[in-house]
C-alpha cells in the first residue's frame, strides 16, 4: 500500500497529525483551503497576565513554526480537493490550487500593495501566521478586480513586478494510502439570534473578534468610538445548549476561553468591570476549577441568559435579564457585549461527507466509528482529527490528532 497520507485542513489538528506522520517517515500531502495556516487559533491572543493562564495558543503557534522545517511534507494552501476515487487499495486525489497572484520569488515584502489597496481590509495581504516563509496573496472574494470592477492598483504600485493578476488555477493529482480529515469547526453565526443585536450595534462583538483585537492591538477598544469600554458583558452558551437553534450540545471551550479573556481584560484594564451571564459554568479539569474560583473574586457572575440587547441614545448597550434572587426583570447598562460563540460543524462538512463517503452524527459533526473510537470512521482508510468530529479545546485537539496519526500509521502498516 502507498505509504502516504492526505491531511485535509491545516488548523492545529491537521498540523499536529501532519507533523506526527511526517516525522515517522510517511509522506504527507497537507491541503488547506485558506491562504494561511493555523485555522481559528491563528487569530487568538496569549491570555497570560502576570502568569501564564494555560490557554495553549502558544503551543499551537509552535506547531505552525515546526511545520516549515518538517521533512516528507508537501503543503498546499489556497487549495481544495476537487475529486477523489478509491484505487489500488488507496485513493487517487485531484487538488485544485487557487493562484496567489503574487510571485513569491520576486516579492520583496515592502507592503506597498497592502497599503494602497482600496478595499477594507486590504484584499492583498500576508496571511497568518505572518511567518517570513508565507507569501502575499489576493483574496478574490474581496478584490475589486475579481469582482468585475476596474482595479489593478497593487500590480501598478508593486516595485518588484511581483503581482500578476492573470495567474490561473491549476490542478494536481496524487496517490495516497490514507486520509485524515481535520477540517475543524465553524463558529456559531451570531446573526441567527437577532435579539442580541449583532450586526445592528457595533459594540456587540463575538469572542473571536475580541481575541483578534487583543492579538493585533494588545488592548481593548470599542468599535463604535475607539474608547476603552468600562463595563463589559460576556454572554455564555451563545449558540450552544440551545434547542431553538438546533444546537443541543455544550461546546466545551466557551466557559474556559471566556474566563481567561475576562481575567485578561481585568488585568489590562483594572478600572473596567466585567460581568459574565451564564447558565452554569462547565469547568473541565481540576486546575480550571481553581482558576474559576479566583475569577469569581474580580468578575461578576450573573446566572441568567439575557433575553435582549438594545442600544440607547447615549451609545450604551442595555442588557435585559432576570435577577433570580429578586425575581424581577432588570435592564443594565454596558459599553461592550461579547457573545461567547460556540462550535458548530465546519462549513464544508456536507460536501466532504459526499466526496469521502462519510456520515455525520446527530449534531452534524463527522460521525466516528463509535463513541470510543473517535478517530476511526466507517470508511476504510479515512480518519478524523480535532474539532471536525466534535467540540474540543486546543490541547484536546492535539491529543486527538496524535491519535489520528497513530491510527493512520497502523492502517498503512508503517508503525
Ligand atoms: C472564540 C474562541 C476562542 C477559543 N479560544 C481557545 C483558547 O484560548 N484555548 C483553547 O484551547 N481553545 C480555544 N478555542 C477552541 C479552538 O479554537 C479549537 O480547539 C481549535 O481551533 C481546533 O482546531 P482544528 O484544527 O480542529 O479546527 P480549526 O481551527 O477550525 O481548523 C480547521 C482548518 O481546516 C481548514 N478547512 C476547512 N475546510 C476545508 C476544506 N474543505 N479543505 C481544506 N481545508 C479546510 C480551515 O480553513 C482551517 O484552517 C476557542 C474557540 C473559540 C470559538
Ligand atoms: S499563549 Fe496561553 S499558554 Fe501560552 S503563555 Fe500565553 S497564556 Fe500561557
Ligand atoms: S486589484 Fe485592486 S482591489 Fe484587488 S488586491 Fe489589487 S489593489 Fe486591491
Ligand atoms: S508591493 Fe509587490 S513587492 Fe511589495 S509586498 Fe506587495 S507584492 Fe510584494
Q: Give, using CA atoms, the residue closest to atom 8 of ligand 2.
A: 52
Size (the chain), residues: 415
For residue 281, give the nearest of 254, 245, 308 by alpha carbon: 254
Q: Is the pLDDT of residue 284 over 70?
A: no
Q: Which ligand is nearest to the CA of 117?
A: 3
pLDDT of 262 reads: 96
- Which of 394, 396, 402 best tests ligand 1's pocket when mutated (most atoms within 8 Å of CB)? 394
Range of the domain at 396: 4-98+169-184+346-412
326 pLDDT band, cuts 50/70/90, is: confident
In a domain, 380, yes or no: yes
In a domain, 135, yes or no: no
Whether 214 lines ligand 2, by a CB cut-off of 6 Å, is: no
Cα of 343 from ligand 1 centre, angstroms: 9
pTM of the model: 0.94
267/382 same-domain check: no
Which residues, other chains included, contact 267 with Cβ-Cβ below 8 Å and sequence gap of 6+?
A: 49, 50
CATH of the domain at 235: 3.50.50.60
Q: Give, using CA atoms, the residue closest to atom 6 of ligand 3.
A: 154
90/204 same-domain check: no
Q: Is the dihedral of CA 205, 394, 260, 244 positive or negative?
A: positive
Cα of 46 from ligand 2 centre, angstroms: 5
pLDDT of 243 reads: 81
Please give the radius of gyration of the chain, using alpha carbons only, rounded to the nearest integer: 23
Cα of 63 from ligand 2 centre, angstroms: 14
pLDDT of 414 reads: 67
In a domain, 38, yes or no: yes
Of the residues 284, 309, 342, the one at which a domain ends: 342
| Residue 87 CB burial class (10 angstroms; 0-12, 13-18, ≥19) | exposed
78/201 same-domain check: no
288/400 same-domain check: no
pLDDT digits (tens, 9 = 90+) for 6-44: 999 999 999 999 999 999 999 999 999 998 899 999 999
Omega of the bond prior to 129 within 30 degrees of 0, cis? Answer: yes
401/275 same-domain check: no
pLDDT of 80 reads: 95
Q: Give, using CA atoms, the residue closest to atom 5 of ligand 2.
A: 52
Strands laid side by side in the 73-76 sheet: 73-76, 27-31, 4-8, 178-181, 382-384
pLDDT of 252 reads: 84
DSSP 114-163: HHH--SSS-SEE--TT--TT---EE-TTT-TGGGTSS--HHHHH-TT--B
User: Which grid coordinates belong to 15?
Assistant: 498540523
In a domain, 226, yes or no: yes
pLDDT of 133 reads: 63
Cα of 42 from ligand 4 centre, angstroms: 23
285 pLDDT band, cuts 50/70/90, is: low
pLDDT digits (tens, 9 = 90+) for 378-410: 999 999 999 999 999 999 999 999 999 999 999
Q: Which ligand is nearest to the CA of 121?
A: 3
CB under 6 Å to ligand 4: residues?
102, 107-113, 136, 158, 160, 162-163
What average pLDDT score do residues 296-325 get? Answer: 93
Residue the block writes with cell 491570555? 47
CB under 6 Å to ligand 3: residues?
117-119, 123-124, 138, 143-145, 151-154
Give all strands (DSSP E) within 177-261, no chain letters.
178-181, 185-187, 204-206, 231-238
In a domain, 366, yes or no: yes
User: Which grid coordinates belong to 3?
Assistant: 505509504
Q: Is the pLDDT of residue 241 over 60?
A: yes
Phi-psi region of 284 (alpha: psi -120 to 50; beta: other; left: phi over 0): beta
In a domain, 311, yes or no: yes
Cα of 334 from ligand 2 centre, angstroms: 29
313/369 same-domain check: no
* Degrees to nearest 5, angle at CA 12 with 11 and 16: 120
Cα of 113 from ligand 4 centre, angstroms: 6
What average pLDDT score do residues 72-99 get? Answer: 93
Judge contact between 34 and 56, C-beta under 8 A: no
Q: Give, using CA atoms, the residue closest to atom 4 of ligand 3.
A: 143
Q: Is the pLDDT of residue 312 over 90?
A: yes
In a domain, 258, yes or no: yes
pLDDT of 368 reads: 97
91/203 same-domain check: no
- How many structural domains are present in the chain? 2
124 forms bridges with which residues in the sheet? 138
85/197 same-domain check: no
Of the residues 282, 308, 342, the one at which a domain ends: 342
Cα of 124 from ligand 3 centre, angstroms: 7
Q: Which ligand is nearest to the CA of 338?
A: 1
User: Which grid coordinates belong to 141?
Assistant: 472574494
275 pLDDT band, cuts 50/70/90, is: very high
Q: Is the pLDDT of residue 129 over 70?
A: no
Judge contact between 204 and 317, C-beta under 8 A: yes
pLDDT of 415 reads: 61
132 pLDDT band, cuts 50/70/90, is: low
336/371 same-domain check: no
C-alpha 413/C-alpha 189 separation (Å) is: 42
Of the residues 342, 369, 386, the one at which a domain ends: 342
Residue the block writes with cell 494588545? 218
Mean pLDDT of the chain: 93
| Residue 209 CB burial class (10 angstroms; 0-12, 13-18, ≥19) | middle
The atom of ligand 2 lying closest to the CA of 44 is 1
3-class state of residue 382 by DSSP: strand
- Which of 125, 127, 158 best tests ligand 4's pocket when mutated (most atoms within 8 Å of CB)? 158
pLDDT of 153 reads: 97
pLDDT over 90 for what percent of the chain? Answer: 83
What average pLDDT score do residues 143-167 get? Answer: 96
In a domain, 143, yes or no: no
207/356 same-domain check: no
368/336 same-domain check: no
| 204-208, 257-261, 267-271, 280-284, range with the lowest pLDDT | 280-284
223/308 same-domain check: yes
| Residue 78 CB burial class (10 angstroms; 0-12, 13-18, ≥19) | buried
Amino acid at each position: 500500500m502507498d505509504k502516504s497520507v492526505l491531511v485535509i485542513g491545516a488548523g492545529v489538528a491537521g498540523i499536529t497529525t501532519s507533523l506526527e506522520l511526517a516525522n515517522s517517515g510517511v509522506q504527507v500531502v497537507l491541503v488547506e483551503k485558506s491562504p494561511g495556516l493555523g485555522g481559528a487559533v491563528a487569530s487568538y491572543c496569549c491570555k497570560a497576565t502576570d502568569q501564564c493562564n494555560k490557554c495553549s495558543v502558544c503551543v499551537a503557534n509552535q506547531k505552525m513554526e515546526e511545520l516549515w522545517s518538517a521533512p516528507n511534507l508537501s503543503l498546499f494552501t489556497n487549495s481544495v480537493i476537487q475529486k477523489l476515487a478509491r484505487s489500488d487499495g488507496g485513493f487517487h486525489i485531484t487538488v485544485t490550487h487557487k493562484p496567489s497572484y503574487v510571485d513569491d520569488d520576486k516579492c520583496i515584502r515592502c507592503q506597498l500593495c497592502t497599503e494602497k489597496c482600496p478595499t477594507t481590509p486590504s484584499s492583498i495581504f500576508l496571511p497568518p501566521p505572518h511567518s517570513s516563509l508565507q507569501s502575499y496573496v489576493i483574496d478574490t472574494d474581496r478584490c475589486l478586480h475579481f469582482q468585475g470592477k476596474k482595479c489593478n492598483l497593487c500590480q501598478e504600485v508593486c516595485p518588484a513586478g511581483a503581482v500578476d493578476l492573470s495567474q490561473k488555477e491549476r490542478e494536481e493529482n496524487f496517490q495516497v494510502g490514507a486520509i485524515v480529515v481535520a477540517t475543524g469547526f465553524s463558529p456559531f453565526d451570531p446573526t441567527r439570534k437577532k435579539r442580541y443585536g449583532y450586526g445592528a450595534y457595533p459594540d456587540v462583538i463575538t469572542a473571536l473578534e475580541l481575541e483578534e483585537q487583543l492579538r493585533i492591538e494588545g488592548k481593548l477598544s470599542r468599535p463604535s468610538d475607539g474608547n476603552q469600554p468600562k463595563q463589559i458583558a460576556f454572554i455564555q452558551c451563545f449558540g450552544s445548549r440551545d434547542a431553538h437553534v438546533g444546537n443541543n450540545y455544550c461546546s466545551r471551550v466557551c466557559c474556559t476561553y471566556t474566563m481567561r479573556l475576562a481575567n485578561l481584560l481585568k488585568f489590562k484594564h483594572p478600572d473596567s468591570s466585567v460581568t459574565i451571564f451564564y447558565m452554569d459554568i462547565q469547568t473541565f479539569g481540576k486546575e480550571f476549577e481553581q482558576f474559576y474560583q479566583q475569577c469569581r473574586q474580580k468578575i461578576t457572575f450573573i446566572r441568567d441568559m439575557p433575553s435582549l440587547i438594545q442600544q440607547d441614545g447615549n451609545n450604551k448597550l442595555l442588557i435585559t435579564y432576570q435577577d433570580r434572587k429578586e425575581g424581577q426583570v432588570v435592564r443594565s447598562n454596558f459599553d461592550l457585549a461579547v457573545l461567547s460563540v460556540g462550535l458548530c460543524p465546519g462549513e464544508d462538512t456536507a460536501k466532504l461527507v459526499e466526496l469521502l463517503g462519510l456520515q455525520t452524527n446527530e449534531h452534524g459533526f463527522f460521525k466516528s466509528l463509535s463513541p470510543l473510537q473517535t478517530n476511526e470512521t466507517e470508511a476504510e482508510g479515512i480518519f478524523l482529527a480535532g474539532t471536525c468530529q466534535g467540540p474540543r479545546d486546543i490541547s484536546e485537539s492535539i491529543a486527538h490528532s496524535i491519535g489520528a496519526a497513530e491510527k493512520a500509521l497502523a492502517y498503512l502498516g508503517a508503525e
